[in-house]
Each structure stands twice: as structure tokens, then as C-alpha cells.
Structure 1
Amino acid sequence: MIIKLLTPRSSIDAWARTLGLAAVIAATVFLMWQSDERSLGTPDAEQLRGPSEPDSFVVGSHYRAWSEQGNLEVELTAPRIEQFQDADLALLEGPVARVFPSERPQPWIIEADKGSLRQTEGLLHLAGNVVVTRRAENTDATLTTEALTFNDKEGTVYTDRPVTITEPFGVTQATGMKAWIDQRILELNSQVEGQYETLR
């Protein structure tokens, strides 16, 4: 079963937009950190390092990006980031991104056990206890899953894993999800169930 949500005021629709925004900003911030110059290296150094070891790494990383107006837009932290230049791959340990939308005083928080970024393909994969939290006054809403992929080139966010969206007055569960950020469409693929409380 596929559900398409086209209503601009849909809270799930807002999830899709913000997830995409967070992915693009987080990826952009991390890519700004990377140097445009490739390491020339030496065969001896590569042999000493081994093919499974990173070309470079950062411990205790903390990145921030501001808007042109000087407002904080995103904070990205990770205990460790490893870069593998030949594979065009960066591995993030325990990434946490805080996204500050201009229309909201409270940040969105995206966290996972690990992440991987493929710069050329524009793909950010998050895995293990992926939680997206939308903070609001006295209420939080969360999206949880075990894996989530952001495709910057296609403007999509997707997973084939079970997804749970928890809001103050209800819970939606599904297996598999795909969102098109620009079109503001979210599809819940199968086994869609919802439980909601009505206001009295």
C-alpha cells in the first residue's frame, strides 16, 4: 500500500521537507571540511597504512554553518570521521546534526549510530538507531528507523526498513518509506498502521 501525502499542512509532509534539508546541509558542511587537494601519498605509506585504514580522520569533530543573515543553520558533531579518498567515502561515527529552520525556534535533531557519505554520488547513509526529532513547545515528534538514505542528486529520502512516526496525538508505522523533498510527497510503502487520539 502506497500513501501519497500532498497536503501542505500535513505534519508527515513537513518531515519529508526537513529531512531533506537536514541531509543537504549536513552533507554540505562535511564536504566543506574536506580538502579539494588529493593526497599524493606514497606506495610505502599506503602499504604501511593498509587498504582498510583511512587516508585521514578527525576526532571530536564539531562543525557549524550560518546563513547569510548570520543565523545558525546547522551543527554537526561526530566523535570520529574517517575519509577514504580513493573510494570517495567518508565514515561518520555517532553523527548528530542539529538543524535550525528559520521559522522555528527549536532545532530538528538527527542522530544515528553511524553514517557514510559518498561525495560524488551525493548519498548520505545513516544506520543504527536513526532518530529524527522535531522539537516544539512542550511537545516532541520523532521518526525512528534502523536505516535512512538521503540522495542529494535526486532530492529523495528513503528506507526499506520499518519506520515509526510518533507525534503528540498519534503513531504511524509502516515498512518502507520514500520522500521527494521538492514535491513534498511522502510514500509509506506497506503495512501502514496508525493510532490516533481525538481531541474532545
Structure 2
Amino acid sequence: MTHFSEKFIYIFLTGLALLSWWLTQYTGLIQAEKEKVNGTYPDYFSKSYTKWEMDETGQVKSTLTAEEMTHYATDDWATHTKKPVMTFNNEKTPPWVVIAETGVLSKDGKKLQLNGKVTVNRANTQDLKQLTINTSNLMVTPETSYAETNAWAELISASNVTTGTGMKMTFKEPIHVELLSKVKGKYETK
């Protein structure tokens, strides 16, 4: 073999080694990017999110709005919301408006976990007094207009205040609110 062909073989092998090293580095970057995408990074998001649910007659049964919505592909609870507002409409009474700090809507849309401070309001009418409920960590089932929590809850209507631990509530007719334990009330009569 000549000196030139030996040099060529060494250069070729060195180039092949460098190319192999570069390919392993490059595929490592691709793998890191795949892990990044499949990790805790959102696969889509929205600002000013709105979701409507209709009843059998085509009327709006409930509405979920949020300042922000973020979906994570690897998360069993599919949709995370900031400042969600859930509204339950009733034919004969004002709507119930449920406001929370954050919320997580299940993948199938059947459960909404409202986290942090949660406020439930119903406006007054001629026949009904305004009702405000303060609680936290409320699990809402939009399909059945039902909610429950194990946390402390406070019901305020006019000058009446009732508190307790744990609450079950139905937002549709017949409206039902039940405090589960340690119930105390302060009622003013005129």
C-alpha cells in the first residue's frame, strides 16, 4: 500500500467516526425534544375559553368559561383552567354562577374539579333571596348539575349565615343544598 492510500483510509475512518459522533449527538437532541413534547409541556392552549352544554330542547344548560385553558397530552385530567366560571341555567330561577381560582376538566368533560376558593352565587328575585356560598375544592358534575365538597362551606342569604363541613348541592330543579357535618347557623328575624 502506498503512503497516500494509508492517509486516505485514516482520514476516511476519522471522518466516519466524527459523523457517527455527530449523529449520536443529533439523535440525542431529537430524543430530548420528544421527551420535552411528551412531558409536562402543553400540547394546546387557549385564552378566553368557552364551553357550552345544551339540554334536550337545545337550550343552554350550562356554560364554562375561563381566562385560560391548557391541555397536557400526558395528563389524565385533560384540561386545566385559570379563573373558571361555571354557569347553570334554570328555567324558573336565576342562573347559578360558580367562580373558582383554578379548575381541571376531566378528559371526558364529565367532572370539573374547582380548586382554591370557590364562590357560588344565585341572584335574588321577587320570590327568592340572593344566595352566596363560599367553599373550596368543589367537584362539579356538569351533566347532572351536581356539586360536592368535603371542605368547609358557608351559606349566606340576606342576614342569615349557615356554616358546615362538607356540602352536596344540586343546581337544577328541585334545588337542593345540604351541609354534611358541624352545621351552625346565625339567623336574624325581624
Normalising by the residue count of structure 2, what TM-score does the alignment of the two structures yield?
Answer: 0.66
* AA aligned opposite 2:180: N
- Matched with 2:167 is 177
Match of 2:151 among 154, 158, 161: 161
- Matched with 2:23 is none
- Residue 189 of structure 1 pairs with residue 180 of structure 2: yes
* AA aligned opposite 1:125: Q
Match of 2:136 among 146, 152, 164: 146
Kindly name which structure, 1 or 2, has the bigger radius of gyration based on alpha carbons. Answer: 2
Matches within 5 A, 1:78-157: 78-89=66-77, 90-104=79-93, 106-120=94-108, 122-137=110-125, 139-151=129-141, 157=147
* AA aligned opposite 2:87: R
**Relative to 1, partners in 2 of residues 1:133 and 1:43: Cα closer, same or farther, differing over 3 Å?**
farther
Q: Which whole-Å deviations, capped at 9, do the CAs of 1:150-189 have from their partners, x for residues lacking one?
A: 2579985321211001112411100122357899765423
Conserved in 2, the CA contact under 8 Å of 1:111 and 1:130?
Answer: yes
* AA aligned opposite 2:73: Q
* AA aligned opposite 1:62: T
**Relative to 1, partners in 2 of residues 1:178 and 1:76: Cα closer, same or farther, differing over 3 Å?**
closer
Task: Calculate the aligned-residue CA RMSD, in Å.
Answer: 3.3
- Matched with 1:62 is 50
- Residue 51 of structure 1 pairs with residue 55 of structure 2: no
Deviation of 1:144 (Å) = 0.8
Q: Secondary structure at the match of 1:49?
A: helix
**Relative to 1, partners in 2 of residues 1:108 and 1:154: Cα closer, same or farther, differing over 3 Å?**
closer
Higher helix share: 2
Cα distance in 2 between the residues matched to 1:193 and 1:49: 50
Relative contact order (C-alpha < 8 Å, sep 6+): which is higher?
A: 1
Cα distance in 2 between the residues matched to 1:121 and 1:172: 32
Q: Which whole-Å deviations, capped at 9, do the CAs of 1:25-63 have from their partners, x for residues lacking one?
A: xxxxxxxxxxxxxxxxx9675424351112211111133
* AA aligned opposite 1:83: H
**Relative to 1, partners in 2 of residues 1:171 and 1:125: Cα closer, same or farther, differing over 3 Å?**
same
Q: Which ranges in structure 2 are unaligned for 5 or more consecutive residues?
A: 1-29
How many residue pairs were aligned? 157
* AA aligned opposite 2:119: V
Q: Which ranges in structure 1 are unaligned for 5 or more consecutive residues?
A: 1-41
Conserved in 2, the CA contact under 8 Å of 1:133 and 1:143?
Answer: yes
Aligned-pair identity in percent equals: 25
